[in-house]
Amino acid sequence: MIALLAGAPALVAGCAGATGEAPRTPRPGVHVALMPAAWATEASVEGVDGDSAMASALARRGGARVSLLSARLSRSPGCADDAACVREAARALGASKIARTELAGLGATVLVRGAIVDVETQMREQLMQEVVHDADPARLRAAIERLGERLAKPWAPLPPGPRRAWYEEPWLWVGVAAAATAGAAAGIGVALSSGEGDPDVVLTPP
């Protein structure tokens, strides 16, 4: 029993230097095929690079891998308006999601809409929109980036876990409890093996 308890300080001392973040399971990356940004109205704002704005937001906020569909769709006239054709193009890239960016202008006001569609089911998983007043290229790009960040939120990497002190680690207390249990068992063995005339042994749990 003495030898067993003597090893407990060594166990604690060895654990004292073990600190760090709790282990985390990273979320799997998402591969998104990005449709070219399109205007739903004749009124538009020149100089808006909606594709790069959405792609950078999805990658930055959600850690998504983004592939552009523009090159593949341009090879097949009318493919952008055919859901089956778009799905096959996204499949060819190995993407599991499709991101769409649409803009509609009315005077100086523009409605910006972003959507995420599942490649296999063709079901729309997310739809978000924002109204931009006094629209210009900079304001529209900022709006598209905000939408992209919101759309990518479900895929965002988990934040780092809080750092814990060595004495808060669960494995440390499992070891201490095991040592205490072994010591108590040894004490019970000594008490049971003693003669009838010996006094009772009272064990107080730690």
Look at residues 125, 112, 38, 50 and name the one whose alpha carbon lies nearest to residue 81. Answer: 38
CA 195 to chain centre: 64
Tens digit of pLDDT for each residue in 106-140?
A: 999 999 999 999 999 999 999 999 999 999 999 99
Delimit the domains of the chain by residue range.
Answer: 2-19+165-193, 31-155
One-letter amino acid at 168 equals E
- Most confident region among 89-98, 158-167, 183-192 by mean pLDDT: 89-98
Between these two residues, 116 and 190, which has the higher pLDDT value?
116
| Span 15-39, pLDDT tens digits | 444 445 444 444 557 999 999 999 9
pLDDT tens across 40-65, in order? 999 899 999 999 999 999 998 888 89
Copy the structure tokens of residue 111. 């409605």
Rounded-to-integer distance, Cα 200 and Cα 71, Å: 87
β-bridge mates for residue 99, sequence order: 34, 116
- Residue 14 — very low, low, confident or very high, per pLDDT cuts 50/70/90? very low
CATH architecture of 31-155: 3-Layer(aba) Sandwich (3.40)
Return d(Cα 111, Cα 54) in angstroms, integer.
15
